[in-house]
A and B are shown apart, each in its own frame.
Chain A
Amino acid sequence: MIIDKPLKIAIASGKGGTGKTLLSTNLASLLSVERKTLLVDLDVEEPNDLLFIHGKTETVIAQYKMIPEWDESKCTLCGICSNVCNYHAVVQLGTYIAVFKELCHSCYACSELCPTQALPMEKHQMGETTIVTSGHLTLIESRLAVGEEQTVPLIHKTHDLVNQQYRDIPVQIFDCPPGTSCPVVAAAKEADFVVLVSEPTPFGLNDLRLAVETIRKIEKPMGVVINRYGIGDDAMERYCEGAQLPVLAKIPFDKQIAEHYSNGQMVYDKHKGLRSSLQQLIAAIHHAL
């Protein structure tokens, strides 16, 4: 088989704390035993993959978004900028133009529609991306700067970096942010297959349903991994059956897994059960595709 395009797998969940990071880091590490693998941490608000992958830091890239900056000397106070800004990020206060950068979506409307070029777009750092290698594994972690609020631009920048510079890595795992709204859509949009990790509790099921609807909206094939199998009830399995969602693997609840994870350790190399669940997952993804 000739691989002209990498296989991209997104790990998402809806509810937080169901095992996305555990699954992403262990799956990527296991895959990297035999082939070049890329792991991308897109949970930019709270990235954790780097706590588990120890390797060589290749580079740290500052990530910027573009924000208008007011040039008073060119401004005629015509008011067009504040009129066109739909986010109230550019506001005319008397003879002063205030730019609220946390509200700005970098649409360029104010800057490009200004008749006197008084609002040039300038770089503003929103976070950074760290690249670490460990054997066949490359980890790309993007981290939002504390105080920044918008995650989507940083997620897009990270996809761009992967598409431009890491196309040759055949298997790519994307650890997505929790939730069901714009950040997870931005993170999973590039994927060929989405793995939804959940736990068999009412909270897990409620959020899984929402996540399934979200992934259906972006029309991606998907399957479910039930983590901490045994702690709740069988409502999740019944739901998956009814919704025709394949259950790709079940990871039994085990205090040993929790203990390794809590210490920031890889689990698959110490825990046979998890390793066989991961192998089952890999086979199931291959089968689904």
Chain B
Amino acid sequence: MPSDIHKEIVVLSGKGGTGKTSVTASLAVIAGNSAVVADCDVDAANMHLLLQPDFGQTVEFYSGQLAELDQELCTRCGICADICRFNAIPFHEDQYRISSLDCEGCGYCAQVCPTGAITMKERRSGNLYTSRTKAGSTMVHARLDIAAENSGKLVARVKNDAKAIAKSENKQFIIVDGSPGIGCPVVSSLAGACYVLLVTEPTMSALHDLKRVYAVIKRFRIPAGCLINKYDLNEEKSAEIRQFLKEEQIDHLADIPFDPIFSSAMIEQKTIVEVSLPLKHLMEEIWDRINTRLNTKKEAI
């Protein structure tokens, strides 16, 4: 039996706050032990609040470099500050200093310093966790250090670890919670995806953002489906979204009505499928549809 049979489902939205994490965590509860869960919204990770992972294993994550300046060796010649394109070496109180918030770790300063006063050090950017969730599944998640860079690389690492676990434990699925936006963390989370689940809401902003994130997904030729959350808050906008889905041949998976239970479940640290039977049935239906879609795609190829 081939070991590389897992299917990867990535949940995205473009706009933040549409219900991405509530939906992802619900699917994770439904999929249970058949899935590895990955929280790739490392910038503002929230899935742990619903799935209560045990933070079983922690490793430090290093990514990129940071310049370090030895004042003893520095002759104040200023060459480093002149060539730094990030203005990361300000001159202050008769000393050049490295501003760690501005340094992008390019290492150019270390290359040109005539006295070898600058060295490049590995930069810690966060913690990476492998946990057991309350649904019995393995979850890979991370916490980026405050104001750190390189969240795209940390996203890639979370995904790669999740893949390795899915492979070694013969899991069927990887369920990935992505970040808002269209930039580097989103692109990193799309690598290797079999299906993208889009969670949107009927607002002008959300539709605008959905179109932009779908333009990115399209470049990777990944099939996608969409779920309209709080659809009844603006029926007209919901109709407009459905029209867009039709034009782009994005599967319209479901409409979910506005329900304060999303917030109240969150306060109880539970997923919506644990507190509402109708929502549980709806999410199970969505999960079945995604599975059917994944299987038909395989046959078509």
Residue from A179, A207, A261 having most chain B Cβ neighbours under 10 A: A179
A144 touches B44 (CB 8 A): no
Distance between B243 CB and nearest chain A CB, rounded to angstroms:
16
Distance between A117 CB and nearest chain B CB, rounded to angstroms:
16
B106 touches A210 (CB 8 A): no
Residue from B101, B107, B152, B205 having most chain A Cβ neighbours under 10 A: B205
B184 touches A149 (CB 8 A): yes
Q: Which of A17, A149, A213 contacts B15 (CB 8 A)?
A: A17
Contacts of A217 in B (CB 8 A): 101, 146-147
Q: Which residue of B lies closest to A178 (CB)?
A: B16
B108 touches A144 (CB 8 A): no
CA distance A183 to B43 in the complex (A): 10
- Check if A113 is an interface residue, CB within 8 A of chain B: yes
Q: Which residue of B lies closest to A151 (CB)?
A: B183
Contacts of B44 in A (CB 8 A): 14-16, 178-180, 206-207, 210
A87 touches B181 (CB 8 A): no
Contacts of A202 in B (CB 8 A): 46, 49, 266-267, 269
Chain B interface bracket (under 10, 10 to 19, 20 to 34, 35 or more):
35 or more
Contacts of B107 in A (CB 8 A): 84, 86, 109
Residue from A151, A201, A213, A233 having most chain B Cβ neighbours under 10 A: A201
Complex interface residues of chain A between 108 and 132 (CB less than 8 A to chain B): 108-109, 112-113
CA distance A231 to B260 in the complex (A): 7
CA distance A15 to B20 in the complex (A): 12
Chain A interface bracket (under 10, 10 to 19, 20 to 34, 35 or more):
35 or more
Q: Which of B43, B111, B216 contacts A179 (CB 8 A)?
A: B43
- Check if B144 is an interface residue, CB within 8 A of chain A: yes
- Check if A105 is an interface residue, CB within 8 A of chain B: yes
- Check if B21 is an interface residue, CB within 8 A of chain A: yes
A108 touches B146 (CB 8 A): no
Q: Which residue of B lies closest to A203 (CB)?
A: B46
Q: Which of B14, B17, B106, B204 contacts A15 (CB 8 A)?
A: B17
Q: A46-B14, A207-B46 are in contact. Are A214 and B108 (CB under 8 A)?
A: no
Q: A107-B108, A218-B101 are in contact. Are A181 and B202 (CB under 8 A)?
A: no
CA distance A16 to B15 in the complex (A): 7
A-B contact count (CB 8 A): 174
B182 touches A231 (CB 8 A): no
Q: Which of A182, A203, A262 contacts B237 (CB 8 A)?
A: A262
Q: Which of A45, A144, A177, A259 contacts B234 (CB 8 A)?
A: A259
Q: A214-B147, A262-B202 are in contact. Are A16 and B85 (CB under 8 A)?
A: no
CA distance A280 to B43 in the complex (A): 31
- Check if A133 is an interface residue, CB within 8 A of chain B: no
B85 touches A46 (CB 8 A): no
Q: Which residue of B lies closest to A143 (CB)?
A: B212
A264 touches B204 (CB 8 A): yes
Lowest 10 CB-CB distances: which A-B pairs, in order?
A: A16-B16, A17-B17, A107-B106, A45-B181, A179-B43, A264-B204, A109-B108, A149-B184, A262-B203, A17-B16
Q: 18 A-B Cβ contacts within 8 A?
A: A18-B16, A46-B208, A51-B205, A112-B108, A147-B219, A177-B181, A178-B181, A179-B179, A180-B43, A181-B151, A182-B149, A189-B101, A203-B266, A206-B46, A214-B147, A262-B234, A263-B237, A264-B205
A-B contact sample (16 more), CB < 8 A, given A84-B107, A180-B144, A217-B146: A15-B17, A46-B208, A46-B213, A86-B65, A113-B108, A146-B215, A151-B184, A178-B44, A178-B181, A179-B180, A180-B146, A181-B149, A182-B151, A203-B46, A231-B263, A263-B204
